[in-house]
A and B are shown apart, each in its own frame.
Chain A
Amino acid sequence: DTAVSQTPKYLVTQMGNDKSIKCEQNLGHDTMYWYKQDSKKFLKIMFSYNNKELIINETVPNRFSPKSPDKAHLNLHINSLELGDSAVYFCASSRGRENQPQHFGDGTRLSIL
Chain B
Amino acid sequence: AQSVSQHNHHVILSEAASLELGCNYSYGGTVNLFWYVQYPGQHLQLLLKYFSGDPLVKGIKGFEAEFIKSKFSFNLRKPSVQWSDTAEYFCAVKGGGGADGLTFGKGTHLIIQP
Contact = CB atoms under 8 A, between A and B. Distances in A.
Interface string B30-50: 001010101000111110010
Interface stretch (A12-20, A40-48, A62-70, A78-86): A40-48
A29 interface: no
Interface in B64-105: 88, 90, 96-97, 99-104
Interface of B: 32, 34, 36, 38, 42-46, 49, 51, 88, 90, 96-97, 99-104, 106-107, 109
Interface in A68-113: 90, 92, 97-99, 101-107
SS class, residues of chain B in contact with chain A = strand
A45 B99 contact: no
Please indicate which of the listed interface residues B96, B102, B104, B107 has the most CB atoms of chain A within 10 Å of its own CB. B102
A43 B90 contact: yes
A33 B107 contact: no
Contact of A102 (B88, B99, B102): B102
B107 A48 contact: no
Contacts, number: 58
Interface residues of A, number: 25
A105 B107 CA distance: 18
Contacts of A35: 101-102
A60 interface: no
Q: What 5 A-B pairs come out closest when comparing CB atoms?
A: A45-B101, A43-B104, A104-B44, A55-B99, A104-B43
